[in-house]
Amino acid sequence: MESLSFDLSRATVRQLNQHLHGPANELADQHVEVFNPDGAHNLAVGINAPVKVTIHGHAGYYAAGMNKFADVTIEGSASTGAAENMMSGKVHIKGFASNSAGASAHGGLLVIDGDAGLRCGISLKGGDIVVGGSVGSFSGFMAQAGRMVVCGHAGDALGDSLYEAVIYVRGDIKSLGADAQIEPLLDADISALTQLLQDAGFKHDPHEFKRVASSRSLYHWNADAEQEY
């Protein structure tokens, strides 16, 4: 594999991203290493090639956003919107992630070794998210499809207005959001958790998790309910 490095104390984020937006066949066998990121925003965004990227340090807003095919590793923490709108590939954050990690992800796998902030997985549309620590309030809000695995605890209003996505939580849940409920783990859930935990590099027992899914009471308008707007 060809190795190429960008030192952002000398190069610019634009130069990095312009390289990563090159022809997919040329990027396919490359390992691009990014040094001295110093929390810069928009690192490794919009990739559409099976390239490997390693960011040696902390990333700012929207790191690895709109990722497709690439394998991106952030060896520090990431700020708001990491891996938002991801289509495929893998993003691995070895530190912590701030608000809205994995927002609107359609596919791929996001792994966060530490905790994630508020609204992790908001409007999830088919991707998989595995969090080694805990997640903040309103995580999984309006998640439409996909799966979230939380190895720690979950804050308030978990899974509020959940659709077809499923959330697995190993620790305590401070409160469930509207229309979310805890359901029994099925054999299919155990199989899914086993694979997701393995892919993320965690060794927890899948039987220790709780399944959170939609009760589907919000799927249809109830004209007889006493509701105010």
Per-residue pLDDT of the chain in tens (229 residues, 90 and over written 9): 889 999 999 999 999 999 999 999 999 989 999 999 999 999 999 999 999 999 999 999 999 999 999 999 999 999 999 999 999 999 999 999 999 999 999 999 999 999 999 999 999 999 999 999 999 999 999 999 999 999 999 999 999 999 999 999 999 999 999 999 999 999 999 999 999 999 999 999 999 999 999 998 877 666 666 655 4
Largest Cα separation within the chain, whole Å, is 64
Say if 108 falls within a structural domain: yes
Q: Specify whether 82 is located in the same domain as 171.
A: no
Strand, helix or coil for residue 19? helix
Q: Specify whether 82 is located in the same domain as 141.
A: no
| Residue ending a domain, choose from 47, 65, 89 | 89
Nearest-angstrom CA–CA distance, 99 and 120: 6
State pTM to two decimals: 0.95
Contact 170, 148 (CB under 8 A): no
Q: Specify whether 102 is located in the same domain as 197.
A: yes
Task: Check residue 57 and give left, alpha or beta (phi > 0: left; psi -120 to 50: alpha).
Answer: left
Nearest-angstrom CA–CA distance, 101 and 79: 8
| Residue ending a domain, choose from 45, 71, 89 | 89
Say if 224 falls within a structural domain: no
Structural domain count, the chain? 2
Say if 229 falls within a structural domain: no
Residue-number span of the structural domain to which 57 is assigned: 1-89
